[in-house]
Amino acid sequence: MLRLVLCLALLDPSGVAEVPRRNIPAREVLTPQGDRLGYAPVPRPYTGTRRLTGVLVGRDRETGRHITCGGTVVRSRSRSLVLTAAHCLRDHGRVLEQLAFLPGYDRGRPVEGVWPVERTWVPSRWRGRGFGPDLLPYDVGLAGVSAKPRGRLEDLTGRGLRPLPTRRGTPLRGLELLGYPAGKQYPGNRMYRCVGDAVEGKERGPGVLVTRNCHAAAGGSGGPALYEGGVAGVVSSSSPLRDDKGFTVLSRLGSRTFTRMYEQADRIMLRSK
């Protein structure tokens, strides 16, 4: 079992630096045409499950800083839920304002519209706290978006991805990570993908997954980790971009904490008009 090195950086677009060298050794890049971080642009137009992924934008009222993360439509009875990372909904314990989800976002175009966030849910451990390594297994959040005159979110995007719970210690091969990396190398408004194999990265708690085939850059937080037609986790953090043996940490969806949060969010949004 891999012991996770706790030298992690949250994927914050304001902290982007140019990547000076190859972070993922060429032999470990599994993505066709993958770059030095293991990522490649998703072919346009976005189709299938990739249309369910987009950007989640928000603002920290205290600092005035705008935050951009990834998110994806997750299947629910309420047809209104977006899966992302907890730190994309609360910045240093503060609830973000003006949150909105833009599925299928492509070069500045909100292909499937702009969906204001009505409610958010994060594990109780994230409330009022800043980031800490012990929170990695719980870096999963849900956003409930308001309905439009034409219907709810899944009425327009199609059925969301089913949450795929996996138990601690279960390796997953062939994950596809999706996100909108930002910085000197990346435009921040185009979807990228990375194929990776992930193994257990923490021995206690629900556990997290670590892939050494992908080194997520800023802006990639909250993006889904797709597996066998479902979503098995979200991008949480990565080693610093100066690391020439970079890795990415994924928060699983297999904990009881996530299951209870998901069920509660779905019940509340189901009653929402």
Residue 82 identity: V
Residue 3 placed within a domain: no
Contact call for residues 12 and 4 (beta carbons, < 8 A): no
Residue 1 placed within a domain: no
Residue 159 placed within a domain: yes
Residue 137 placed within a domain: yes
Per-residue confidence (pLDDT) for residue 273, from 0 to 100: 67
Percent of the chain with pLDDT strictly greater than 90 = 63
Residue 194 placed within a domain: yes
Per-residue confidence (pLDDT) for residue 16, from 0 to 100: 40
Q: How many CB atoms lie within 10 A of CB 171?
A: 12
Helices (H), 125-168: 153-157
* Cα–Cα dist 269/133, whole Å: 31
144 burial level (CB within 10 Å; 0-12, 13-18, 19+): buried
pLDDT tens digits, one per residue of 114-149? 999 999 999 988 876 666 778 888 999 999 999 999
Contact call for residues 52 and 157 (beta carbons, < 8 A): yes
Residue 235 placed within a domain: yes
Per-residue confidence (pLDDT) for residue 5, from 0 to 100: 39
pLDDT tens digits, one per residue of 8-22? 445 654 334 444 567
Signed CA dihedral, 93, 99, 101, 106: sign only = negative
Strand partners, 72: 53, 83
Q: Residue 110 maps to which CATH number?
A: 2.40.10.10
Overall domain count for the chain? 1
On average, the pLDDT of the chain sits at 87
Residue 2 placed within a domain: no
Q: Count Cα neighbours of 190 within 13 Å in the Cβ-side half-sphere.
A: 13
Using the predicted structure, report yes or no on whether residue 193 has a pLDDT greater than 80. yes
Which of the two residues, 96 and 100, has the higher pLDDT score? 100
Residue 14 placed within a domain: yes
Using the predicted structure, report yes or no on whether residue 4 has a pLDDT greater than 60. no
pLDDT tens digits, one per residue of 201-244? 765 556 789 999 999 998 899 999 999 999 999 999 998 888 88
Domain enclosing residue 118, as ranges:
9-271
